Structure 1
Amino acid sequence: MNQLNSKSFYNVAPIALDNRLGALDLFDQAAPLVPIGAWSCDLATERLDWTDGVFDIFGLTSDDALDRETTIGLYCEESREILERKRSQAIENRDGFTLDARIVRPDGIERWIRITAATGGSNGRTEKLFGMKQDITDDHMRWELLRAQAECDPLTGVANRTRFQRFLDQPCNGPVLDDIGTLILFDIDDFKQINDRWGHAAGDACLVNLADHLRKAFVNAHLVSRIGGDEFAVLLPSSVSRTETKVELQSLIASLLRPIQWNGCLVTLKVSVGIAFASKDGRYNPQTLFTTADEALYCAKNRKIFPSD
């Protein structure tokens, strides 16, 4: 009686009974063609049920005991945090979600998976999560390659403004900001005069030279980017101290002062620098950090000296 009167819900379209067997047979035939599988989780017991496809994706066998706590430990930290948040929201709102997550299997192989989740239950209460998991590692690698190409400055080989903009667009409490310690801006002084006197090919050579020096000087940088015609940005991790940063800068500036060989001539390159240090707790606005570094760069260009502050 209770079962008849209960109101069940599933946030996916129902399948007619007379078509269900055919649909299941079709799925069984097609499933081996792609690395995909079905899964479910009983919320009362946290019991997991996987098809063979999900076991294969995670590098496990159907003989392995399924334990949610152990399974969730295979997710990389950032993916795990996002998954847990989306899962909680789905349960609360009786809604579904999708997520691309990174896992490391027990054999050490890293994979990217796409999770599609739906909810089911009765009497307005979410009792079950279920859906599909698909291995999208190859697609993710192709996408990352395309994105890297789209975010690379073709002349210098460092990141372009689009890539740097991704940092500026981060929310103030975004996880990416936790490991940012310093933003340094570099600008070539009197760059137009170099182009006017020696030609644009010489100007290009100066840009390539500066980019090479930045890459070599800041091997641990999160990002080296050309953000304007003759302006570059470097993002350093929080593990690099302010003292270390200034020492590296002093050495870098000294090397940049050496003239560049161009068609048998020596081209002198002068660079101004602006520095901004992020707060240690990661609570700062990336746009404000950029503005601070840009103001320091402006002051340095006017003073024509290396900033000491």
Structure 2
Amino acid sequence: MRSLAYPLRHPLTEVAGSNDDDFGARLARLCDLLGIAGAQLTTATDSGSAIIAAVGPAADNLALLQARALPGPHRLVLPDIAAAGPSGARFYVGLKLPSAAGGSPLLLSLFDPKPRAAHMAERIAGLAQELVTDATVEQLRQVIECQAKVIAESIQMEQLRRELFERASATAKIGVWQCDLADNSLLWTNGVYDLFEIERGTQVTRELSLSCYTEASRRQMEAARAHAIATCTDFALTVEIITVRGKRRWMRLTGAVESRNGVATRIFGMKQDVTEEKLMADRTRYLAEFDVMTGLANRSQFQAHLAGFDAQGGNGSGALLLVDLDGFKQVNDTYGHALGDECLKEAALRLTASCANAQLVARIGGDEFAVLLGPATPADAAEALAEGIVATIGQPFVRGGHTFKLGASVGVAHYRGGFSQDLFRQADTALYAAKDAGRNTSRTYRADAA
């Protein structure tokens, strides 16, 4: 049995002439008047019965007695229940109160741990029945119906809140989850099912959930989860999953640990599909760091890497190669920008292939490229690479039915201390020296020749 959510506050009868409107108190006075230990008023529901009011000690067998009394005659009188245990009712009276049209049956139960003689039991039942008038029962029913209406409205509001939550969750692509740490059982809202593309309502296990994570994300999530459980703290991270239908998605995962006496018992949180945001962020970052046409690093990323020489404090090594395409302007002027762009893409591919061991290959201008070599580069490797670039770029290629043959001028500068801007200036000086030498060649900056 369960108690109604709202206590009833209306007199069953004017017992002892009191003006107290507390219904439990009136039941207590009824028990005093009849000389019994307890009373309970219940109403039948679809799932059993619901307690409206109760006084006195609880009896272990009361629910069984009420279940017997409800479908029975007008009243059930049991003077002595010999089979009752030490905490059971030995005396019981169940009075079915008059029912209004369409109303649920009402049952007034009177009980006591001591048995009664048969004639005394019938007398108590008759007296109780006289005290409960039809008018009082009707008033009680009105109160019950009013409370039932309030409860129904409350349930309706709760359903509305749930619907609004589900709609908001679906719009935001958010779902709520929880895991009972005693057995690792999971509970998901619809949003989580939809995120993993698992049919709603399916019994899910932690093993099924983990199988959807990529290996790297699973390790990251397990580490964060274990730390949160060990320290009874929260965690949040972004992970990659592959749904049961094979789609790759990015998920924002939050978790909060619930504990008792410092021991984690439950973990719960939210899971949100952030795939679109992740792709947009990646795209934004790519545009900020890479040249869209060639796929090489752009000037911004090049400058950031070049500034790394400043952090070496003059004690590092490395080299910078600046590359200009010879003959590119004529291609643009003769064949248009579309074929000119194809020439830039081809040059980028050849540079990438030639500079596999470079720290960075970047497009820093229209037909200008830069190659950064790290400190592990041998002393003469930069000059050999420059010659290779000249030879590779100079090989003809076909695009749009036309054969193109570009050239490359390369300036090389070795880092021997100082600032990154000095290194760039030295490579630029060497580049112009290569151009002055007739183009399609390379030159290395030498301080004694500057």
Q: Under a length normalisation based on structure 2, what TM-score does the superposition of the two structures give?
A: 0.39
Contact 2:394-2:406 within 8 A present in 1 as well: no
Percent identity between matched residues is: 31
Matches within 5 A, 1:212-251: 212-215=349-352, 225-226=362-363, 230-232=369-371
In structure 2, which of residues 186, 191, 209 is the aligned counterpart of residue 53 of structure 1?
Answer: 191
Following superposition of structure 1 onto structure 2, how do residues 2-151 of structure 1 map, counting pairs within 5 Å? 21=158, 24=162, 26-151=164-289
Q: Is the 8 A contact 1:36 1:133 kept in 2?
A: yes
Structure 1 residue identity aligned to 2:203: A
Partner of 2:409: 269
Amino acid at match of 2:290: C
Distance in 1, matches of 2:350 and 2:359, equals: 16
Does 2:322 correspond to 1:188? yes
Q: Is the 8 A contact 1:113 1:136 kept in 2?
A: yes
Determine the C-alpha separation between the residues in 1 that align with 2:236 and 2:176: 14
Larger radius of gyration: 2
Residue 212 of structure 2 aligns to a residue in which SS? coil
Change beyond 3 A, Cα 1:227–1:103: farther
* Secondary structure class of the residue paired with 1:66: coil
Question: Which residue number in structure 2 is paired with residue 13 of structure 1?
Answer: none
Cα shift readout 1:99-158 (whole Å, capped 9, x = no counterpart): 111111121111111112111111111111101111111222222221211112368541
**CA contact 1:259–1:269 (8 Å) conserved in 2:** no
Conserved 8 A contact 1:37-1:54? yes
Show structure 1 runs of 5+ residues with no match: 1-17, 170-183, 236-247, 275-296, 304-309
Aligned partners of 1:76, 1:222: CA distance in 2, in Å? Answer: 29
Among 379, 393, 396, the residue aligned to 1:256: 393
Q: Deviations over 1:59-99 (max 9, x none)?
A: 11135331212311211122112111111111122111111
Contact kept in structure 2, 1:185 and 1:231, CA below 8 Å: no
Report SS of the residue matched to 1:108: coil
- Is this contact kept in 1: 2:321–2:386, CA < 8 A? no
What do you get for the CA RMSD once the two structures are aligned? 4.9
Task: Please give the TM-score of this superposition, normalised by the length of structure 1.
Answer: 0.55
Residues 166 and 190, structure 2, Cα contact 8 Å, conserved in 1: no
Report if aligned partners of 2:389, 2:408 keep a CA contact under 8 Å in 1. Answer: no
Counterpart CA distance in 2 for 1:268 and 1:78 is 43
Letter in 1 for 2:181: L
Using CA pairs below 8 Å that are at least 6 residues apart, which structure has the higher relative contact order?
1
Give the aligned length. 225
C-alpha separation in 1, matches of 2:170 and 2:408:
63
The answer to whether structure 1 residue 211 and structure 2 residue 351 are counterparts is no
What is the deviation of 1:226? 4.8
Contact in 2 for aligned 1:258/1:268 (Cα 8 Å): no
Gap change, CA 1:27 and 1:63, over 3 Å in 2: closer
Unaligned runs of at least 5 residues, structure 2: 1-153, 309-317, 333-339, 375-384, 398-403, 415-426, 428-442
Instruction: Give the aligned residue type for 1:269.
Output: S
